[in-house]
Structure 1
């Protein structure tokens, strides 16, 4: 560090500014090598502090760590929570998940680790870079990492410490806290929206599956004809194919099911065409007879499985070679339009 005494004075100013803003503070040790003692001194300059405004987390059964100024005169302001450990760092790192902001002044390796934890987990942090130490390293890292502070605010953290620096510190920590809360609200809305979309997709898939099943009694309820039978086969295959794809998204815990539904419908339609064309090749009159009712059971199953495994269907289609062009009788093969192939020199 540079000017240690100036840093301790800044600690008092920070405590005064935090108290004026109505912030509660968490401190860990009153030993002279730490800045908490001076922060508490400045914090207690405010007379109307709410009870428990200063939360103290010292190592268990270590009175030397809790010898803060005015602890005896104003015990109602302090909330001493003994940590079940012999090292102050245990309670310190555990408390980081509960705070709304962290102030770093000077410090060594534990301060550097604290800054990295704050940056990694999105905890608002204000490293006072002017006094050097690990806080300066944390400030340097903020220029290359993601956090809740703007570039102007990060620049202000490296400015020389002056009369209004403590108020600026509290203000920047407050804006970071607001941005963090806004981001958490947006993420919560996004999760709720994803849950709603997933539920809507599951209901849609169930209704489409019921629609596909409804084609079975429909073919038995109406008079058999080619138009009715073909319509039932097409609707059933497309509905179950789409339902299978949507079920796939629910199975994989995905939320964006609309694109998958389109792919599943296409896969179900292609599988329907391939399956029915094979049946027509064997029985050309199957669509006009009663056999289509039995065929419908297979078509629904094929459509659903094709939709559920649409990726396998499309991979198979990619590997399938296109059919060869038909040979026109009376024309030489291998040359478009029946032209005679040119002879190479040497008569080969």
Structure 2
């Protein structure tokens, strides 16, 4: 895949630069060398204006000096109505230029919009626009190579690269500040493409992490739904078999643990969390504690409830308590932290922390009704 590289800047001795332009007589041939290195590395070039004050003319000249460059390799992005498209060899080799007009009459509009398309930017000299370009590249993760030896805004960007984080290593930033030589252009391009490879590797790693999180979230939601179905399955199970204490207690415990875990996983998915396994463990514990407190309160009122048909009706409440306790496990643990232990020898009836307000099931049919007076 061909990379799209922009070369931005100016080296006009008649202009004032901050810091001042250095080695102006070398800047023009250096830009031609950069263009030639881009063509030899099978990179596309994007340019914006053919005005003499900018470096694009020299870069295009060097790019076209490579005979086997493919058609359309030079992308021209002028604003609509701009007549500054007098690039070298444009009339002799029009097939090399891909001219696309951008909306708007200011070159800044088309220029800054195109920065999201490029794979790297090379800065040479330049003034305020070059400085802004460098800052935008550093801020928005665009690989940038600043040629410091010619001064101008590119030198400021190079100074900034020594103080902020980006994809270039300290050794590579140091190499950008070296004096210009015949090997500088290929070296500069190699440093720029190395940044691009690191950025692509980082983005691929982030994409893999996001994909892994999505799969883990989907797995957690699936397990949560299966556990909810398991908890609800305890209802027909208790009605399908003969009622006894073992079946009733097993159904109540399994249903409370399953729905408590399902409620916690549902809460984790609702909050867009990723650590669903940890949340499931917390929800299971909260559901179990709430189940024990709720059932112990019922046993205090009806000691025989687990051996009769009342346990079947109790299961509906236990499943609800388990799910809500798992969904609000943070409230359950917060209430437990605030609960004081009863004094020795003074037992207290336990209360369900953060459990929903549900009515107590009616007494078992085996329990005789209270005596209300003499019969008629």
Normalising to structure 2: TM-score of the pair?
0.84
Q: How many residues align?
A: 327
The answer to whether residue 318 in structure 2 is matched with residue 318 in structure 1 is no
How far apart, CA to CA, are the structure 2 residues paired with 1:56 and 1:273?
Answer: 74
TM-score, normalisation: structure 1: 0.91
Partner residue in 1 for 2:203: 184
Unaligned runs of 5+ in 1: 329-348
Change (3 A) 1:311 1:67: same
Structure 2 counterpart of 1:273: 292
> Partner residue of 1:40?
60
Paired residue for 1:60?
80
Q: CA RMSD in A?
A: 1.4
More helix by share: 1
Partner deviation per Cα, 1:104-146 (whole Å, 9 max, x = no partner)? 1111222122112211221111011111111112112222222
Match of 2:213 in 1: 194
| Structure 1 residue 59: Cα displacement | 2.0
In structure 2, the residue matched to 1:6 is: 26
Unaligned runs of 5+ in 2: 1-20, 348-376
* Separation (CA, whole Å) in 2 of partners of 1:143 and 1:283: 76
State the shift of 1:253 in Å.
Answer: 2.1
Q: Which residue of 1 aligns with 2:251?
A: 232
Give distance in 1, aligned partners of 2:51 and 2:78: 11
Could you say which structure has the greater relative contact order, defined with CA pairs below 8 angstroms and 6 or more residues apart?
Answer: 2
Distance 2:128 2:281 in 1: 55
Cα distance in 2 for partners of 1:47, 1:89 equals: 32
Taking the aligned partners of 1:222 and 1:134, their CA distance within structure 2 comes to 84
Equivalent residue in structure 2 for 1:150, among 169, 172, 183:
169
User: How many Å separate the matches in 1 of 2:251 and 2:172?
Assistant: 66
Shift of residue 325, structure 1, vs aligned partner? 2.5
The whole-number CA distance in structure 1 between the counterparts of 2:261 and 2:163 is 46
Say yes or no: does 1:254 pair with 2:273.
Answer: yes
Matches within 5 A, 1:27-176: 27-63=47-83, 65-176=84-195
Runs of 4 or more above 4 Å deviation: none
Deviation at 1:327, TM superposition (A): 6.5
> For 1:253-301, what per-residue CA distance to the aligned partner results, in whole angstroms no more than 9, with x for missing partners?
2232111111111111111011111111111121112111100000000
**More displaced 10-residue stretch of structure 1: 221-230 or 276-285:** 221-230
Paired with 1:84 and 1:207, the residues of 2 have a C-alpha distance of 55
Aligned equivalents of 2:293, 2:135: Cα separation in 1: 59
Deviation at 1:324, TM superposition (A): 2.0
